[in-house]
Amino acid sequence: MKKKLLFSLLSVFFFCFSFLPIRAEESSYPYTIRIYSGKQGTIDGQEMVETIVQPGASISDLFSLERVQLDNDKYYVKGFKESGKDNNTMAQPLPAIAKEDADFVIVYGIKGEGTQYTIQYVDQAGNALAQPQTFYGNVGDRPVVAYRYFEGYLPQAYNLVRTLSANAAENQFTFVYAPIEQPQTTTPATPAQPTTPTTPTQPTTPAAPTTPDNQTPTEEGTTPAEDQTTTPGQDQTPTEEGTTPTTPQQPQDLIDLDEEDVPLAGPNSKPATNNQTKSSSINPWMIGLIVLALIALAGGGYYFYRKKKAEDEVLKRLHKEDQE
């Protein structure tokens, strides 16, 4: 009985332990990103483009619609989606950096009630970082637009999505970039080389002193000026306080421009609301401990029940023997 109870407890423990997340080391090998053109066009003139990138490298430029060439004017390019998923997943954000091997396909649509949408890339002052791009879509489409990488800048989001309307002026996708401030470093001044002291000349024998007719007394109370000294290691130029550079907040994965009051102030805007934060997962250790405690209680109760029952049977048998 005890062996069975111990075996059950160990089985539950190892079962719970198997659900613990195993932390894998960050890969140092390059990733492969493949994009398939599909049947209605090509990408860079080919049916498939394969790109080898290093982990953490920006891959947003791989999803530029300008790379796609249509074979039939009846169709238009709707966007990109991960291979193996249906077209309903197109509203999912496209990856901004390389994290794993991945395959993507180009999604096409049949032209209907057409409209246009424009993608703009500006800094926080409204200055254009690149020429706007204009693409075609159908009214009611929800294209996901990936950002473009600019050295020294971060956008407010890696992807933007909105529903296209018949009014092309309303179909604006504007990426607002904030500069990544770099810490300012000052180069210390090189100290001057010391001069070689000159050899002093032999002193000459002074002539006999003469008594001056009118001796000009020195003015009392005057002290020769002392040289101003500086403490080594102190910077003589005062530094301005409060100029520590700040790093912009990380961009959001996806911003839905259909929502009202969407901030477009770059990565320094307010953090995402509660509905945009990831929910915390339940710790598997807690689940394992709870299950283990319940089984231990049940096993202990069953053990004492069987022990009590065995003792009652022994007492009954002894009582019966006494009566006989």
Does one domain contain both 56 and 93? yes
Does 241 fall in a domain? no
Q: How far apart are CA 54 and CA 58, in angstroms?
A: 9
Domain membership of residue 312 as a residue range: 282-324
pLDDT classification of 29: cutoffs 50, 70, 90: confident
Task: For the chain, give the mean pLDDT.
Answer: 75
pLDDT at 22 over 80: no
Query: How big is the chain, counted in residues?
Result: 324
Indicate if the pLDDT at residue 227 is higher than 60. Answer: no
Whether 147 and 104 map to the same domain: the answer is no
Farthest-apart Cα atoms in the chain, separation: 156
Is residue 227 a part of any domain in this protein?
no
The verdict on 250 and 165 lying in the same domain is yes
CB 141 within 8 A of CB 78: yes
pTM above 0.75, yes or no: no
70 bridge partner residues: 41
Least confident of 111-120, 175-184, 207-216, 238-247: 238-247
Residue 44, pLDDT > 90, answer yes
Show which of 111, 127, 146 is a domain's final residue: 111
Residues 48 and 146 in one domain: no
Task: Give pLDDT, residue 208.
Answer: 56
Residues 6+ apart with CB under 8 A from 91: 142, 144, 161
pLDDT score at 280: 40
Clarify whether residues 70 and 122 are in a common domain.
no
204: in domain: no
Same domain, 107 and 37: yes
Residue 18 has pLDDT above 50, yes or no: yes
Tokens matching residue 19: 């659900």
pLDDT given at position 38: 87
Answer yes or no: do 45 and 106 share one domain. yes
177 lies in the same domain as 258 = yes
Q: Give the pLDDT confidence score for residue 221 in this predicted structure.
A: 47
pLDDT at 277 over 60: no
Query: Nearest-CA neighbor of 156 among 31, 278, 262?
Result: 262
57 assigned to some structural domain: yes
Strands (E), the chain: 31-36, 41-43, 48-53, 68-70, 75-82, 102-110, 114-123, 133-138, 144-146, 153-155, 159-161, 172-179, 255-256
Predicted local confidence at residue 245, as pLDDT: 46
Band of residue 318 on the pLDDT scale cut at 50, 70, 90: confident
Evaluate whether residue 229 is within a structural domain. Answer: no
pLDDT digits (tens, 9 = 90+) for 81-120: 888 877 655 656 788 889 999 999 999 999 999 999 999 9
User: What is the distance, to the nearest Å, from the Cα of residue 307 to the centroid of all Cα atoms in its chain?
Assistant: 60
If one compares 144 and 299, the residue with the highest pLDDT of the two is 144
pLDDT(276) > 50: no
Decide if 170 is inside a domain. Answer: yes
Are 262 and 161 members of one domain? yes
What is the distance, to the nearest Å, from the Cα of residue 100 to the centroid of all Cα atoms in its chain?
Answer: 15
Instruction: Give 32-101 as a 3 state SS string.
Output: EEEEECCCCEEECCECEEEEEECCCCECHHHHCHHHEEECCCCEEEEEEEECCCCHHHHHCCCCCECCCC
Q: Same structural domain for residues 123 and 173?
A: yes
CATH code of the domain covering residue 70: 2.60.40
Whether 225 has a pLDDT exceeding 70, the answer reads: no
Most confident of 21-30, 141-150, 302-311: 141-150
34 in a domain, yes or no? yes
Residue 56, phi-psi category: left (phi > 0), alpha (psi -120 to 50), beta (remainder): left
Of the candidates 20, 14, 24, 15, the one whose C-alpha atom is nearest the C-alpha of residue 281 is 20
Name the residue with higher pLDDT: 160 or 23.
160
59 and 106 inside one domain: yes
| Count of C-beta atoms within a 10 Å radius of residue 162 | 21
Residue 176 lies in a domain: yes
Q: From CA 77, how far away is CA 287, in angstroms rounded?
A: 47
Lowest mean pLDDT among 44-48, 91-95, 171-175, 254-258: 91-95
DSSP 280-303: PPPPHHHHHHHHHHHHHHHHHHHH
| The total number of structural domains that make up the chain | 3
- Round to the nearest angstrom and report the end-to-end CA distance of the chain: 33
Domain stops at, among 111, 144, 171: 111
Same domain, 255 and 160: yes
What's the pLDDT at 178? 95
CATH of the domain at 133: 3.10.20.320
Where does a domain end: 111, 132, 157?
111
